[in-house]
């Protein structure tokens, strides 16, 4: 008996000791390292190209010195600044980007543990009130958050650092607010409490600067207060809550009436988007409970104006869960709060703000905390008293399964070929998957197969401009210029103000020696974007073929002005100077090219030197000019 008491006392000391925090953090790091080890192999994917690798704004850290940039939360300044820091340290070496994403995910899981532990200690549910049970439950909640395979899209997909970074500051804000607000309720305002609450507000703002969907953090503060903060009479602060929620409602109504409620696309009405989200909640629920069928693009279409079966069932479930949160408010606060957290943190992307992609798995990143809280609290509520050990064992098995599934899912992110092959296998009729899979094949030099998938997408939906564009580029690379022109003409019909289609169509015309058409398109491309050096170069070559040497010289010179590193242009310009009988400048350019390390024709140099030394020399020379 004495031994048992001693053992219980030792266990209690461990669960209440500061070492527990360190042990949990170390465990999170180790498990994350095991199950995310292969995520570091993942390549830049999907939007990573436009937003990171091709984004010139992140290549210069000086771009972030403007206060105007930092004040515009719509451009997600803090997230882009983190990408700029990555680039400043190691360029496009992807390992560093993955490491930061991994580190943020580890920090988030630890913050989830601290927040879950804190609110359990505040809750009035006796089955979770002691430190040992609260800590055990909080650890499980944190590990579900860490290892659930749905989190891979926000962790392994580089650009979705925006989501995980916003979540990090959001969770930190909640923890700081909870600590500060609780102390303020019991002790009154002092320096420490003010710093905690001030830190919470700053952290919330940083979350919004990472991704504007975190704008719900003030409401999260209010709900935290509603659920867990009590005065000396054991009652909520009704006046504070009433004022807070009233302000939130007034702000929302004002923003809506003034037309400032945001939208990403005008092609979906708010009603259609909301209706679609009811259907999508069914998919989210299935993926949370049984994470099978994950997809980078689920290819779910927008619901029409009429309710279908899925929309009706989804709406009933959403309203049912919200009603359940209301009914459980007094007796099962953790479950009730988990439901509110889930719907609050997903509300910006899954309600009445239309977004082009109606469903994306990374949107569940922060809501998974609410799901984990509901799951763990429910299991221990119904089975914890009689079968506590079996519950613990079941969670260990579940966590192991989730970890293995996460490891397997990360393999899909290793290449765009694997990612879109997986997507196409799961949604064979998804045209975007067809196009991106075709693009991956073309990158692997499997042009004919890639073109076949582009064509398949066009046959399914002839309005998809990207399919025509990608097919045109593939045809261009294969030297099929007539087919490239045909596809680019279709693209130009829809994108009259884009310079790129004109560039490729003009260059295709040039290859076919259709010089007037080439000059028209290349000039239009320059008109739309006068900063593309390659366009001036190509137009200069066309002018040279057309024997418009003065115009060719002007374009080659402008190419060098826009891109001084393009030393090969000196050879082209030297030959134009020669054709215009300007031998000194022709020699100057060719010698400069030679000093820069290019191989040049020594006979050409000697011929120029002879001409300069003997201006009256009438020896005919070969005037066939090689274009580089």
What does the pLDDT read at residue 616? 65
pLDDT given at position 14: 58
For 67, counting Cβ atoms within 10 Å of its Cβ (0-12 exposed, 13-18 middle, 19+ buried), the class is exposed
Q: At what angle do helices 2-16 and 131-147 cross, to 10 degrees?
A: 50
C-alpha–C-alpha distance, residues 51 and 57, integer Å: 9
Q: What is the pLDDT of residue 126?
A: 42
Q: Are 98 and 158 in contact (CB under 8 A)?
A: yes
Q: Residue 504: name the closest of 530, 469, 531 by CA.
A: 469
Q: Measuring CA to CA, which residue among 594, 566, 562, 588 is closest to residue 576?
A: 588
**What distance in Å separates the CA atoms of residue 123 and residue 182, rounded to the nearest whole number?**
13
526/503 Cα distance (integer angstroms) = 8
**pLDDT for residue 468:** 96
Structure tokens at 261: 């409620």
Please say whether the beta carbons of 221 and 197 come within 8 A: no
Alpha-carbon distances of 38 from 95, 98, 405, 409, 572, rounded to whole Å: 11, 10, 12, 10, 48
Q: Write the CA distances from 303 to 274, 282, 316, 363, integer angstroms.
A: 9, 14, 16, 19
Low-confidence ranges of the chain (pLDDT < 50): 1-2, 4-8, 10-11, 125-129, 618-628
- Choose among 218, 203, 209: nearest CA to 170: 203
Q: Are 363 and 346 in contact (CB under 8 A)?
A: yes
Of 52, 178, 170, 193, which Cα lies nearest the Cα of 104?
A: 170
Q: What pLDDT does residue 130 have?
A: 57
Domains of the chain: 15-412 (no CATH), 430-530 (1.25.40.10), 546-628 (1.25.40.10)
pTM: 0.88
Q: Tally the residues of the chain.
A: 628
Tokens of residue 320, six digits: 């049912």
The number of C-alpha atoms within 13 Å of 117 and in the hemisphere containing its C-beta is 20
What confidence score (pLDDT) does residue 624 get?
A: 38
Structural contact between residues 33 and 85, judged by C-beta atoms closer than 8 angstroms: no
Q: Which helix (H) or strand (E) holds 520?
A: helix 515-528
The pLDDT value recorded for residue 52 is 87
The Cα–Cα gap between 357 and 229 comes to 38
- Give the Cα separation of 437 and 422 in Å (integer): 9
Q: Can you read off the two tokens belonging to residue 71?
A: 């004040």
| Structure confidence at residue 626 (pLDDT) | 40
Tokens of 367: 């809501």
Q: What pLDDT does 19 receive?
A: 79
Question: CB under 8 Å to 340, separation ≥6 — which residues?
Answer: 223, 227, 325, 370
Provide the CA 270 distance to its chain's centre, in angstroms. 23
């Amino acid at each position: 008996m004495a031994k048992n008491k001693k053992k219980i006392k030792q266990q209690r000391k461990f669960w209440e000791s500061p070492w527990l925090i360190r042990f949990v953090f170390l465990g999170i790091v180790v498990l994350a390292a095991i199950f995310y080890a292969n995520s570091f192999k993942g390549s830049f994917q999907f939007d990573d190209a436009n937003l990171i690798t091709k984004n010139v704004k992140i290549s210069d850290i000086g771009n972030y010195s403007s206060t105007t940039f930092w004040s515009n939360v719509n451009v997600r300044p803090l997230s882009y600044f983190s990408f700029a820091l990555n680039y400043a340290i190691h360029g496009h070496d992807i390992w560093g980007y993955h490491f930061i994403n991994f580190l943020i995910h580890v920090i988030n899981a630890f913050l989830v543990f601290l927040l879950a532990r804190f609110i359990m200690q505040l809750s009035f549910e006796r089955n979770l009130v002691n430190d040992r049970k609260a800590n055990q439950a909080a650890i499980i909640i944190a590990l579900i958050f860490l290892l659930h395979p749905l989190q891979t899209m926000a962790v392994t997909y580089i650009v979705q650092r925006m989501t995980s970074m916003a979540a990090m500051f959001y969770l930190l804000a909640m923890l700081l607010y909870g600590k500060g607000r609780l102390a303020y309720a019991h002790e009154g305002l002092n320096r420490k409490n003010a710093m905690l609450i001030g830190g919470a507000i700053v952290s919330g703002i940083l979350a919004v600067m990472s991704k504007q969907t975190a704008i719900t953090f003030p409401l999260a503060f209010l709900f935290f207060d509603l659920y867990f903060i009590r005065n000396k009479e054991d009652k909520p602060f009704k006046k504070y809550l009433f004022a807070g929620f009233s302000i939130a409602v007034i702000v929302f109504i004002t923003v809506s009436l003034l037309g400032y409620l945001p939208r990403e696309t005008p092609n979906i009405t708010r009603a259609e988007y909301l209706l679609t989200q009811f259907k999508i909640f069914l998919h989210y629920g299935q993926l949370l409970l049984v994470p099978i069928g994950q997809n980078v693009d689920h290819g779910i279409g927008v619901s029409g104006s009429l309710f279908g079966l899925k929309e009706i069932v989804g709406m009933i479930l959403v309203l049912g869960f919200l009603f359940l949160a209301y009914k459980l408010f007094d007796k099962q606060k953790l479950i009730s709060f988990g439901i509110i957290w889930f719907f609050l943190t997903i509300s910006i992307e899954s309600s009445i703000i239309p977004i082009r992609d109606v469903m994306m798995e990374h949107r569940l990143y922060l809501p998974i905390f609410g799901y984990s809280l509901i799951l763990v609290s429910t299991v221990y509520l119904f089975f914890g008293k009689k079968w506590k050990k079996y519950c613990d064992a079941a969670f260990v098995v579940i966590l192991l399964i989730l970890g293995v599934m996460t490891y397997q899912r990360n393999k899909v992110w290793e290449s765009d070929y694997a990612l879109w092959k997986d997507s196409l296998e799961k949604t064979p009729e998804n045209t975007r998957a067809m196009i991106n899979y075709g693009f991956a094949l073309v990158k692997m030099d499997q042009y004919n197969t890639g073109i076949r998938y582009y064509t398949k997408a066009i046959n399914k939906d002839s309005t998809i401009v990207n399919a025509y564009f990608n097919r045109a580029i593939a045809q261009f690379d294969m030297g099929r210029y007539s087919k490239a022109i045909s596809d680019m003409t279709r693209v130009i019909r829809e994108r009259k103000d884009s310079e790129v289609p004109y560039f490729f169509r003009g260059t295709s015309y040039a290859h076919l020696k259709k010089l007037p058409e080439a000059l028209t398109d290349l000039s239009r491309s320059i008109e739309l974007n006068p900063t593309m050096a390659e366009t001036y170069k190509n137009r200069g070559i066309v002018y040279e073929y057309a024997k418009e040497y003065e115009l060719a010289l002007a374009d080659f010179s402008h190419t060098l002005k826009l891109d001084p590193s393009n030393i090969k242009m000196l050879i082209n310009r030297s030959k134009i100077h020669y054709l215009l009988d300007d031998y000194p400048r022709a020699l100057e350019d060719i010698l400069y090219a030679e000093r820069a390390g290019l191989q040049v024709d020594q006979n050409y140099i000697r011929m120029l030197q002879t001409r300069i030394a003997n201006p009256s020399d009438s020896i005919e020379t070969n005037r066939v000019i090689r274009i580089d």
